[in-house]
Structure 1
């Protein structure tokens, strides 16, 4: 196998596994018995979901018996010897049956669930922290993203411990990933982050089975991968061969045997696994007629080994040697992160072992019966337990008790104020208003502020987090000297301390939202509530969406602020002008999308969003903000406290009317969002001068208005309320002109609220560098275009 060669000049020398065997012979035998049972259970779980379940739809249920098999020994060594109740493990997606099999043996999953893989109410297709009935630490359906989640969880726990003295401890954060996952960019963005090099609690184990979904992967450059991890400060351990075949390497001809196997291409090696044991020696010798085959000494060595033993030896890779795995996991350096490259065979122990198309292959009934016989069970009684007085049963009971966790206590109650009460008198952008809100929060609501942690991918100052950072500091694993502390001209104070509340990452949005999701899960992992807030440029929300969505799916609650947004960022040009993000926000599950226009709206809606983060049943939020200063007088805030509170409640429900007249007087209704409200109000004035009574509706959250439309039977102001009927009463039908700095599709649903004739204005093409007025005119979202659209609807 050519990729086994780790002697390339650019690669670091792999760390050797310890020489001593930590397991006694009896312990090793018990672990092997459990491993064989886990192999059976994982295969049987998939088999039951396919052959054992009625299926009239014609849609394949599927599962991954081969991908599970390569992970069995690695996971058995961890769960049945190495892990503690404080450890948290991310399991590669296709090995979910192994995780469920292990949890069953540990007493954490009732046998009634084992036949329910991919069935309603049953075991999920991939590990799911929220949807599976047994213990799952990380959801890993998204390849590459789930593997990095444990890394961000490690940082999140360190942050929690640095802020709250009574926060519970944690152990190792382990990721079990397939070698094909190393193709994912998310992996390398995370590995390269400078803070990661200090995470000694981080352990990654790569299931190096050298197969992806469609093929045997040719010539993986293991030396290159080793070098990349080592360059990032990781300890690199490589487990190539088990101890059975290593004993052969020490005999005469053994070095040639090693060299032959390590120079063998992946495809040739795996083809050798498929032949009869009597042919293995000849496969190793190669074509001796050309002078390129093995030597007489190698032949002599191979002739000394019985065929069955030789076939077992060539399969004896490091990822299947339980004793070697146990020794390795117990001896890693705990002062820096560790990656273990564990060589395995995809489908190990199954009839599909090593086959290039085994990824989704399912065993036949006859093959399942043969596997059952080899595993001490039967197809008729697939979930048979170990004999109660057996060593295997004793170990399962003991490990189950050792790994049992204390239930996580509910997070402490923290009150987030509904408003801060500071007047907004000067023109200000919503982005600047957010900066002021966070800075004021530290003084006005210190208990809530203590739970806030902000994050940014190197854009903290340009997204107005400077005031907050000056007050709280930048979080670091350890205090760092501030060499600019005596610089009187510096406005942003960059104090990196262990008690800071801002985490700065490099320019990698995937890292940002990966950390955000785990910071947003600390309330359910360790009972400590955080309110994580991340700012990034809105055009890059799409880049970060998939891992952020994964974090929400996994139970992470957070606030993502996309700012600045839209073509309002006119001089920056088309590359920095977001178009589709309002629609993305409206359609993201587990999240409320907001786009407030005025500073007061931002204050009310943002505080409300904060109150929903880090609590049972909470939700994430996406805010789309602008750098365009807007005069707060345009909001026409009521002076009467009761009316002002009514306005606030409407703002957090999704929107409010800005017109002084009743909806019944509307000849046309103008609906605006965010930074375009000045143009909407100006268009209303133009129409009034033309004798047209135009109502004006300001939406703070098209998302919540859409939900209100979908849930009209609900009443009471708030999410899912009747706000849509308040804004668009059925008795006051009028044509609608909707406008926002984004794709017009976002507000097109409003046409269905009352069946009004509607014209949707927005941005449907890439922009260009220009002034603000030119940008709005270019896309037809200026006041003149809005008024023209209204007059056209009225036939004038």
Structure 2
């Protein structure tokens, strides 16, 4: 999006300045606009299908005061904010008042080509610093954004400073992703991170009975965070200061969430009765008299306002909270709110997706000073509110980022591996070679691992480039002769080690992969994890791709080839994931040179406006590299490279083929052995080495007019005149390659893994799943007959 301007803009919350009347006027207009947007999408805009449009008026209303205070008093141009998904209309309303959103879009919420359901950094027409929508993932994104900013600043400069705010609903704290992020050791050092929890104590269907703020506060404090609680507003605090006020405070503090929420739906008489314990589930207590005496001196209107005067709706209380932020450690602000605050539905336990009636909307318009017949009016020119909006817009204006710096990645290092090697080991070797043959490109590579660096063969790379840390740390094992992995932590390091939490890994590489668009400083992030856990990390990684983060995910080791590890560590479905993931090219190379070519191609696609992420599925199985039969002729070698990068290449052509064997990854060894045995039986077999079934599938769709993928690779590898019955085989679910038989409508048998794995040697495990050489030969004989 935009680059932060180097502005020393002071935070208004720090000096207590600001016209509260003007802020309250803006607050009311934001409430109206966000509510009216949702109403228009559901009640005004034509909907011929009758399908629910949706929107969240109540969830938006609970955030209005927080976002008004933050944007119109506290934010600077250097700050970035992640907005909770269901408050997207509030963000659009704020951007509209600041001149960042054209009026025409206000009627397009959830319409095709219009405002997205949830804030989207890449799809919305107005600024959104982070995409949100997947609960818990948007909340944690600013943590990884803070690390990415620090990394860029340490290595290349130009990323500036600024806080990283996350505005999240309290129900999001149910997500494990939040706590995995909070507990990572590096996070306690990120003083720019500020979470503001919209603590309305409601979820989608109910008031949550046991959502204890004290317990949550203790959890954050134990993780090293500053904890600020904004529970009551000025009106309630004034009541608490009167005689009997402490009794009233204790009465409210000890209420369960549902009991308190019920007060919001009471008329003044019932409200007095419930607060004194004379009604509801609680009988009269020892403090009943003191509370009753206090309330006798409070008129109905004041009591009605006071009971819903929580800190998250009090601009003075919020101002003070933002002023107390300690930038030396992460901060969480628990802002107590009422879901639906200011709406007719406020406090109702089922208000999550409710809509105001036409009459209720008109009543709201009258109360906030809006015109329902002209719902999108701005403040009058020259009015105090209009001036505050203009001043805020100027204060928050950012300098557009420079175009992303170019990085020309070499296509081929020119060497041909010999001997025996694994694709997993080739990963580390390729990265090491990159630092020597293309140092400018190598300097942009940053690897990330969830505590599996050595077991994924990144040790040599790590020893060369070092571990990244915000400051240099002493290596107490530097003089230990038996230490092989040299853990040198310093700001110039290029490897980031996280705790064992895959969601943190993909969250970080997503933000590292977005630096090209934030600051014009492209990084080439590579995250390495065990392939079985790609599924655990998939949703946040996919969401990171959706949000514009371009990265490479390496799953290794993979498949049942990891025989002794057993079923728990044997991935089955990941090849299919690679085919189906939007914005991603997936590779499963069989040979070290294929890995080099595919990795370099994947690196070349990162950090660009038209870039794409990649997924590499690698193996720990040692493979004889001479089986690759790499052409010695330069032109033939280049054709092989282009084919490998495009998805497949012919590894063996028989003079009189009767069958084609198409294999991927570690099973090329069995495929070639099967071809030899078939040849001895007088049955010729072509062998095709598959590197990316996803690219081949796109080519098939392109040939049929579905998409614009190039189709040359199909004619090059599967020419019509060599169309024969096909056996496909991979260390994964067989349906991932089943589409290949449809290229020329030939008979096919598809071998793979459809059951949970077993521990054992490769021979036993392959035989168990029918993907051994015998299984391939038998399938080919059936087709040839």
> What TM-score bracket applies, with the shorter chain setting the length?
over 0.9
TM-score (norm 2): 0.96
Q: Does the Cα contact within 8 Å between 1:149 and 1:514 map onto a contact in 2?
A: yes
| Aligned-pair CA distance for 1:422 | 2.5
> What whole-Å deviation, never above 9, does each CA across 1:317-351 have from its counterpart, x for those lacking one?
01011011112112210100000000000000000
1:471 corresponds in structure 2 to 464
Question: Per-residue deviation at 1:294?
Answer: 4.4
Partner in structure 2 of residue 563 of structure 1: 556
| Cα displacement string for residues 46-98 of structure 1 (whole angstroms, at most 9, x for unaligned residues) | 00000011111121000000000000000000000100111110000000000
Q: With structure 1 as the length reference, what TM-score do the two structures score?
A: 0.95
CA apart distance, 1:480: 1.0
SS at match of 2:334: strand
Are 1:144 and 2:136 matched, yes or no? yes
Helix, strand or coil for the counterpart of 1:658?
A: strand
The answer to whether the 8 A contact 1:22-1:326 is kept is no
Q: Is 1:265 aligned with 2:256?
A: yes
1:56-75 pair list within 5 angstroms: 56-75=48-67
Q: Secondary structure at the match of 2:663?
A: strand
Does the CA-based 8 Å contact 2:221-2:227 persist in structure 1? yes
Question: Hey, what's the Cα distance between the residues in 1 that align with 2:104 and 2:245?
Answer: 49
Name the count of aligned residue pairs. Answer: 771
* 1:488 to partner: Cα distance: 1.5
Instruction: Provide the rounded CA distance (Å) in 2 between the counterparts of 1:51 and 1:375.
Output: 21
Shift of 1:201: 0.5
CA displacement at 1:713 relative to structure 2: 7.1
Q: Supply the distance in 1 between the matched residues of 2:486 and 2:67 (Cα, whole angstroms).
A: 47
Say if 1:679 and 1:783, in contact at 8 Å, map to a contact too.
Answer: yes
1:393-472 paired onto structure 2 within 5 Å: 393-472=386-465
1:383 equivalent to 2:376? Answer yes
2:643 aligned with 1:650, yes or no? yes
Identify which of 487, 502, 506 aligns with 2:495. Answer: 502
The separation in 2 between residues aligned to 1:215 and 1:294, in whole angstroms, is 30
Contact 1:286 1:293 in 2 (8 A): no
Q: Which residue of 2 aligns with 1:749?
A: 739
| Alignment partner, residue 598 of structure 1 | 591
Q: Does 1:518 align with 2:508?
A: no
Q: Secondary structure at the match of 2:63?
A: helix
Q: In the alignment, which residue of structure 1 is the partner of 2:7? A: none
Q: Aligned equivalents of 2:181 and 2:763: distance in 1? A: 41
Q: What is the distance in 2 between the residues matched to 1:366 and 1:672?
A: 66
Aligned-pair distance for 1:293? 6.9
Q: Secondary structure at the match of 1:667?
A: strand
1:539 counterpart residue number: 532
Which of 781, 786, 794 is matched with 2:776 structurally?
786
**Would the alpha carbon gap of residues 675 and 21 (structure 1) be closer, same or farther in structure 2, given more than 3 Å must change?**
closer
SS in 2 for 1:672: strand
Contact 1:538 1:565 in 2 (8 A): yes
- The Cα shift of 1:290 comes to 4.9
| Match in the other structure for 1:638 | 631
CA–CA distance in structure 2, aligned partners of residues 219 and 573 of structure 1: 41
Deviations 1:6-64 (A, max 9, x none): xxxxxxxxxxxx9x99546x700100010000000000010000001111112100000
The offset of 1:719, in angstroms, is: 6.2
Return the alpha-carbon distance in structure 1 between the equivalents of residues 448 and 116 of structure 2.
32
Equivalent-residue separation in structure 2 for 1:742 and 1:229 (angstroms)? 41
The 5 A counterparts of 1:57-206 are: 57-164=49-156, 166-206=157-197
Give how far 1:278 is off: 3.8
Residue 730 of structure 1, CA deviation: 2.3
1:643–1:291 CA distance, 2 compared to 1 (3 A) = closer
Alpha-carbon distance in structure 1 between the residues aligned to 2:40 and 2:668? 58
Q: For residue 725 of structure 1, what is the aligned residue in structure 2?
A: 715
> Pick from 686, 699, 703: which aligns with 1:695?
686
Distance 1:310 1:545 in 2: 50
Residue-by-residue CA offset, 1:81-136 (whole Å, 9 max, x unaligned): 10011111000000000000000000000111001000011000011110000000
Determine the structure 2 residue equivalent to 1:493. Answer: 486
1:276 aligns with 2:261: no
1:529 aligns with 2:545: no
Q: Aligned with 2:652: secondary structure?
A: coil
Q: For residues 669 and 566 of structure 2, what CA distance do their matches in structure 1 show?
A: 22
Matches of 2:486 and 2:742, distance apart in 1: 51
- Give me the whole-angstrom Cα distance separating, in 2, the residues matched to 1:249 and 1:528: 53
SS class of match (1:754): coil
Alignment partners' CA distance in 2, 1:21 and 1:689: 84
1:52 to 33, 44, 51: 44
Cα drift, residue 481 of structure 1: 0.7
2:196 counterpart SS class: strand
Residue in structure 1 matched with residue 696 of structure 2 by the alignment? 705
Aligned to 2:201, which of 190, 195, 210? 210
SS at match of 1:297: helix
Q: Helix, strand or coil: the match of 1:341?
A: strand
Structure 1 position 769 matched with structure 2 position 759: yes
Cα-to-partner distance string for 1:702-756 (whole Å, 9 max, x where unaligned): 11111111112799xx963321222222233210000000000100111211111
- Distance (whole Å) between structure 1 residues aligned to residue 383 and residue 480 of structure 2: 71
Q: Does 1:318 align with 2:318?
A: no
Matched residue, 1:220: 211
* Structure-2 separation of matches of 1:207 and 1:720: 49
In 1, the alpha carbon distance for the partners of 2:16 and 2:371 equals 29
Which shows bigger deviation, 265-274 or 775-784? 265-274
Map 1:583-594 onto structure 2 (within 5 A): 583-594=576-587
Aligned partners of 1:714 and 1:720 also within 8 Å: no
| Selected match of 2:622 from 610, 625, 629 | 629
- Between stretches 278-287 and 129-138, larger displacement belongs to 278-287
For the residue of structure 1 that corresponds to 2:737, the secondary structure is helix
Whole-angstrom distance in 2 between the partners of 1:680 and 1:306: 86
Of the structure 1 ranges 202-211 and 704-713, higher mean CA displacement relative to structure 2 is found in 704-713
Question: Could you tell me how far apart the structure 2 residues matched to 1:106 and 1:283 are?
Answer: 43
1:254 alignment partner in structure 2: 245
User: Following TM superposition, by how much is the alpha carbon of 1:168 offset from its aligned partner in structure 2, in angstroms?
Assistant: 2.8
Q: CA deviation at 1:167?
A: 1.8
Q: 1:753 and 1:544, CA in 2 relative to 1: closer, same or farther beyond 3 A?
A: same
1:439 positional shift: 1.2
Counterpart pick for 1:336 among 319, 329, 338? 329
Cα distance in 2, alignment partners of residues 444 and 713 from structure 1: 41
Report SS of the residue matched to 1:614.
Answer: coil
Q: Which residue of the partner structure matches residue 245 of structure 1?
A: 236
Q: Aligned with 2:585: secondary structure?
A: strand
Say which SS state the counterpart of residue 352 (structure 1) adopts.
coil
Partners of 1:441 and 1:39 in 2: CA distance: 54
Indicate conservation of the 8 Å contact 1:49/1:118, yes or no. Answer: yes
Cα separation, 2, equivalents of 1:538 and 1:679: 22
SS of match in other structure, 1:756: coil
How far residue 498 of structure 1 moved from its aligned partner, in angstroms, is 1.2
Question: 1:607-659 CA distances to partner (integer Å, 9 max, x unpaired)?
Answer: 00000011111000000000111111111111111111111111111111012
The CA deviation string for residues 243-287 of structure 1, in whole angstroms up to 9 with x for no partner, is 111011111000011111111221121111112234322221122
